[in-house]
């Protein structure tokens, strides 16, 4: 039983287990004791730690988006709308999704491997034996921290992405910075910004819940830790894209 | 006759289709130490995990100090676990925390004051002879030191019940001896009820034949003789998930059962 073959049954079980963990984490978050310090430690490690890589990907996403949009829009004689195309795609879709995928790869995998290692070395059992509920001590701080930090990281990614677009449009495409910025900012509506922040909130919770879930069901020693880490990234990424579709569908109804 | 502190009734535990424990029943009285011996995979460690509530039995009942814990939820197990300490096979120290934070873990959980924590951690580490290691990380410690820190961590809140999961496995004879003496002192001087899981007969017989005395402040260890026989330590031999022997070391040594003879040889 080395590789788990994909089956509908396994997928349903997975969703069920994650739902249980979500419910337990939710209840645990409102029950004493609260591990406030652990939340801040996680916020720093997930948020501050992921900021450089998220901003870097944001920059290049904005830059390449500008190149491609300008190229297409010029054919219709609408290169002046480049800023609009870039800001809407970035804030609605690419900022939240690409940022979350990066955090899933960086922080979600880290959670799975850390919790997985703690599980196989019996540290999780030791924690329980000492009277701590691992859901409260390990899962809740990670979920809360990622859910808070992901929208903030997305704002950073969006901002740097727009600046990347600005750099490309002024330096390479000879669109004036004024024109780029005014069309970029005019195009955005409140619902775009709301949706663009709601998505990373949900994605952040997904990353942490999947990461913790995969870590805490690790079996089979250190080899199992590697397997859990991979699964955490793959499952979180798939769920992020699925929920992105779902949320986009809902948000667009109100646009 | 004092009431049982720990009691298992017809406990069955299965992993997949493998039956690890097959109707195990026994009781541990206050101040008594039960030594569970058996081959690897005979379900010794599983008994400790069930008593701690880390796993749930498939059948049967488990009582801790008279309270049935068989179906208690994780949240309700907390107050039961406060009465018990456990030393894990591989120490299971939190590797992201220092020795001080590891030992103090329980005290932080219950919100003890900072200066009292410091004092009790030093006392606990003093008991296992590791006061100098207080600021070290677990990765800097040897296997024997880790085991002693784990013992100090489990003892910090002075639980009346201690569970030891092969605390001397893989250690040299001198360190093992030190750990055995700590456990004997806890049993004889602090009247701690214990369950000691091991497959090393040498350690098991040490525990069953030596006793600790607290004479004018320093603890001395003596061997039982013709006029003194230790009665607070009993053996329990597991084979394929069933108890095949229960009683004192003298009876175990005299047993005619071929499996037991082979086990002791």
Give the whole-angstrom CA distance, residue B191 versus residue B214: 12
Give the 3-state secondary structure of A147-191.
HHHHHHHHHHHHHHHHHHHHHHHHHCCCCCHHHHHHHHHHHCCHH
Kindly report the nearest CA distance between residue B259 and chain A, in angstroms.
Answer: 32
pLDDT tens sequence across A135-190: 999 999 999 999 999 999 999 999 999 999 999 999 988 888 899 999 988 888 88
Kindly report the nearest CA distance between residue B52 and chain A, in angstroms.
Answer: 7
Interface of A with B in 121-140 (CB under 8 A): 121-123, 125-133, 135
> Which of B54, B150, B154 minimises the CB distance to A125?
B54
Cβ-based neighbour number of residue A251 at 10 Å: 17
| Ordered alpha helix ranges (H), chain B | 44-52, 74-81, 99-110, 114-127, 143-155, 173-188, 201-209, 249-254, 258-264
Please give the distance of CA A155 from its chain centroid, rounded to a whole number: 12
Residue B265 has pLDDT above 80, yes or no: no
Chain A neighbors of B77, CB-CB under 8 A: 128
Question: A interface mutation test: which of B53, B72, B75, B85 has the most A CBs within 10 A?
Answer: B75
Give pLDDT, residue B2.
Answer: 58
Residue B204 has pLDDT above 70, yes or no: yes
Please give the distance of CA A199 from its chain centroid, rounded to a whole number: 9
Give pLDDT, residue A4.
Answer: 53
Give the whole-angstrom CA distance, residue B150 versus residue B86: 8
Contact B109 A133 (CB under 8 A): no
Helix (H) or strand (E) segment spanning residue B242: strand B242-247
| CA angle, residues B241, B54, A218, in degrees to nearest 5 | 95
Chain B neighbors of A33, CB-CB under 8 A: 109, 111
Going by C-alpha positions, the residue among B60, B155, B67 that lies closest to residue B107 is B155
Beta-bridged to residue B37, according to DSSP, are B198, B237
Contact B74 A132 (CB under 8 A): no
| CA angle, residues B91, B121, A111, in degrees to nearest 5 | 50
Contact B81 A130 (CB under 8 A): yes
Contact B93 A129 (CB under 8 A): no
Question: Would the pTM of this model clear 0.80, i.e. be above it?
Answer: yes
Looking at the complex, does the CB of residue B73 fall below 8 Å from at least one CB of chain A? no
Contact A126 B88 (CB under 8 A): yes
Mean pLDDT for A243-248 is 95
- Residue B78 confidence class, pLDDT cut points 50, 70, 90: confident
Contact B94 A128 (CB under 8 A): no
Looking at the complex, does the CB of residue B86 fall below 8 Å from at least one CB of chain A? yes
Beta-bridged to residue B218, according to DSSP, are B215
Predicted complex ipTM: 0.89
Going by C-alpha positions, the residue among B67, B98, B70, B71 that lies closest to residue B83 is B67
Give the whole-angstrom CA distance, residue B240 versus residue A142: 42
Going by C-alpha positions, the residue among A148, A143, A147, A58 that lies closest to residue A99 is A58
Looking at the complex, does the CB of residue B52 fall below 8 Å from at least one CB of chain A? yes
pLDDT tens sequence across A220-242: 888 999 999 999 999 999 999 99
Give pLDDT, residue A31.
Answer: 83
Kindly report the nearest CA distance between residue A234 and chain B, in angstroms.
Answer: 27
Looking at the complex, does the CB of residue A219 fall below 8 Å from at least one CB of chain B? no
Residue B86 has pLDDT above 90, yes or no: yes
Name the residue of chain B whose CA is nearest to A136's CA: B75
Helix (H) or strand (E) segment spanning residue A233: helix A221-253
- Residue A6 confidence class, pLDDT cut points 50, 70, 90: low
Give the whole-angstrom CA distance, residue B248 versus residue B236: 9
Bridge-based pairing state of the strands B33-38 and B233-239: parallel
Helix (H) or strand (E) segment spanning residue B162: strand B161-165
Mean pLDDT for B96-120 is 92
Chain B neighbors of A135, CB-CB under 8 A: 74
Bridge-based pairing state of the strands B67-68 and B233-239: unpaired
Give the whole-angstrom CA distance, residue B23 versus residue B109: 36
Q: pLDDT over 90 for what percent of chain A?
A: 69
Structure tokens at A225: 């830790």
Give the whole-angstrom CA distance, residue A85 versus residue A92: 11
């Amino acid at each position: 039983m080395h590789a788990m073959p994909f089956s509908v049954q396994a997928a349903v079980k997975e969703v069920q287990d994650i739902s249980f963990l979500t419910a337990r984490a939710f209840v645990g978050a409102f029950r004493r004791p609260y591990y406030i310090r652990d939340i801040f430690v996680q916020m720093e490690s997930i948020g501050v730690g992921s900021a450089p890589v998220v901003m870097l990907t944001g920059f290049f996403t904005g830059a390449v988006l500008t190149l491609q949009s300008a190229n297409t829009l010029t054919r219709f004689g609408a290169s002046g709308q480049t800023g609009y195309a870039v800001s809407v795609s970035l804030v609605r879709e690419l900022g939240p999704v690409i940022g979350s995928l990066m955090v899933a790869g960086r922080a979600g995998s880290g959670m799975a491997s850390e919790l997985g290692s703690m599980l196989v070395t019996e540290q999780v059992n030791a924690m329980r034996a000492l009277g701590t509920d691992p859901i409260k001590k390990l899962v809740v701080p990670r979920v809360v921290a990622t859910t808070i930090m992901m929208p903030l990281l997305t704002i950073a990614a969006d901002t740097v992405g727009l600046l990347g677009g600005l750099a490309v449009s002024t330096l390479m495409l000879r669109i004036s910075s004024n024109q780029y910025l005014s069309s970029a900012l005019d195009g955005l509506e409140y619902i775009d910004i709301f949706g663009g922040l709601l998505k990373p909130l949900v994605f952040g919770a997904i990353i942490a819940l999947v990461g913790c879930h995969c870590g805490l069901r690790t079996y089979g020693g250190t080899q199992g830790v590697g397997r859990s880490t991979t699964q955490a990234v793959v499952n979180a990424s798939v769920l992020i894209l699925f929920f992105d579709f779902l949320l986009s569908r809902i948000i667009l109804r109100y646009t | 006759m004092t009431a049982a502190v720990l009691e298992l009734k017809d406990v069955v535990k299965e992993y997949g289709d493998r039956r690890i424990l097959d109707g195990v029943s026994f009781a541990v009285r206050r101040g008594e130490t039960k030594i569970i011996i058996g081959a690897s995979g005979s379900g010794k460690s599983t008994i400790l995990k069930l008593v701690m509530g880390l796993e749930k039995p498939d059948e049967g009942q488990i009582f801790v100090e008279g309270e049935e814990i068989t179906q208690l939820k994780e949240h309700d197990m907390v107050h039961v676990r406060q009465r018990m300490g456990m030393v894990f096979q591989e120490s299971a120290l939190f590797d992201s925390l220092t020795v001080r934070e590891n030992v103090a873990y329980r005290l932080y959980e219950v919100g003890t004051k900072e200066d009292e924590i410091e004092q009790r951690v030093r006392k606990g580490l003093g008991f296992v002879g590791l006061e100098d290691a207080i600021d070290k990380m677990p990765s800097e410690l040897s296997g024997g030191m880790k085991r002693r820190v784990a013992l100090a961590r489990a003892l910090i809140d002075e639980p009346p019940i201690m569970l030891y999961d092969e605390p001397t496995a893989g250690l040299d004879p001198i360190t093992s001896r030190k750990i055995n003496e700590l456990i004997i002192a806890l049993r004889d001087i602090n009247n701690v009820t214990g369950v000691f899981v091991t497959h090393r007969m040498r350690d098991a017989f040490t525990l069953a034949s030596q006793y600790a005395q607290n004479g004018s402040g320093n603890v001395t260890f003596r061997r039982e003789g013709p006029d003194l026989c230790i009665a607070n330590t009993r053996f329990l031999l597991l084979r394929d998930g069933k108890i095949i022997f229960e009683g004192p070391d003298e009876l175990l040594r005299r047993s005619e059962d071929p499996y037991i003879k082979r086990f002791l040889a």
